[in-house]
A and B are shown apart, each in its own frame.
Chain A
Amino acid sequence: MALQILLNLIIAFMWMFLQESYTFSSFFAGYLIGIFLLFMLQRFIPDTFYMRRIWRFVRLILLFIKELILSNISIVKLVYKPNLDIQPGIFALPTDLTKNWEVTLLANLISLTPGTLSIAVSDDQSTIYIHALDIPDVEKEIQSIKETFEKAIMEVTR
């Protein structure tokens, strides 16, 4: 990954010198050409193409924005409901993520989408305790978090 970024930067600088215009726009054009070259030559370069990882990261952000908007609407609906017939509670979410920053990212994403709020992480980082506004079905909730966020984070990191 680091090697590929270095190659890409070298190509961008070479493009800048060939053009003899030392501006940001020519650097950017060179960077795009570098991405294209690396994409064409990815069979000969060790590691997978690094833009694929960045693309997955962009997808994670898009997924997060979608969830943020959808669940904000659901919480607003709850606020204006005349009678509060919700069943809040704290449930444990077992997670397969191991690295520190992966667990941090997952906990933060869970907190940011309304309806769920991460309260604590167990000492061995295998479980996240989550307070949910409305959990008639805990298993379904766990499944949905595992399917969306954990899968997306794993795609970025592995």
Chain B
Amino acid sequence: MIEIIISLLLIIGTFFILSSSIGVLRFPDVYTRLHAATKSATLGVASIMIAAFLFMLFDANIVSGKLILGILFVLLTSPVSGHMISRAAHHSGVKLWEKSIKDDYETKLESIKKKT
């Protein structure tokens, strides 16, 4: 029974990581790619870590706190890196995809530039 749950979690995790890497290839610009890269991967990594935790718990009777901490740190660091990369890209002038409908940040930056 527990093996089925563990394998299901592993399959779901690898599926999310695979789809996020396909997303990186398919999406058109930096920002949409970051959506795929920083986030679907977190759920994938988290469910693989949970599967590893359950395996250690039921197979070897070890409560592995490191794996839980691993999930926590992935959840803590990945949004920060996504934020910084996208901000850096915007500041160095990477254009949005041509089908994007609006860019409030650009208009804000321009209005600041005009004032100074």
Chain A residues near B (Cβ < 8 Å): 68-69, 72, 75-76, 78-80, 84, 86-92, 107-109, 111-115, 117-120, 122, 127, 129, 131, 133, 135, 138
Q: Which residues of B contact A118 (CB under 8 A)?
A: 79, 83
A135's nearest neighbour on chain B, judged by CB, is B101
Q: Which residues of A contact B26 (CB under 8 A)?
A: 79, 84
Chain B residues near A (Cβ < 8 Å): 15-16, 19-20, 22-23, 26-29, 31-32, 34-36, 38-40, 42-43, 75-76, 78-80, 82-83, 86-87, 90, 96-97, 99-106, 108
A38 to B101, CA, bound (A): 54
Contact B108 A88 (CB under 8 A): no
Question: A75-B23, A111-B38 given as contacts; is B43 within 8 A of A90 (CB)?
Answer: no
A11 to B105, CA, bound (A): 53
The binding surface of chain A is classed by DSSP as mixed
Contact B40 A72 (CB under 8 A): yes
3 pairs of A and B residues whose beta carbons are closest in the complex: A111-B79, A114-B39, A92-B104
CB proximity of B105 to chain A, nearest CB, Å? 4
Q: Which residues of B contact A76 (CB under 8 A)?
A: 15-16, 19, 40
A113's nearest neighbour on chain B, judged by CB, is B39
Query: What would 19 A/B residue contacts be, using CB atoms closer than 8 Å?
Result: A76-B19, A78-B23, A79-B40, A87-B100, A88-B31, A89-B96, A89-B100, A89-B102, A90-B106, A91-B104, A107-B79, A108-B83, A112-B79, A114-B40, A129-B108, A133-B32, A133-B35, A135-B102, A138-B102
A39 to B79, CA, bound (A): 37
B112's nearest neighbour on chain A, judged by CB, is A123
A131 to B29, CA, bound (A): 12
A78's nearest neighbour on chain B, judged by CB, is B23
Question: A69-B43, A84-B26 given as contacts; is B16 within 8 A of A115 (CB)?
Answer: no
A41 to B31, CA, bound (A): 53
A135 to B99, CA, bound (A): 12
Contact A87 B99 (CB under 8 A): yes
Contact of B31 among A87, A113, A131 (CB under 8 A): A131
CB proximity of B58 to chain A, nearest CB, Å? 22
CB proximity of B71 to chain A, nearest CB, Å? 11
Contact A90 B96 (CB under 8 A): yes
CB proximity of A130 to chain B, nearest CB, Å? 9
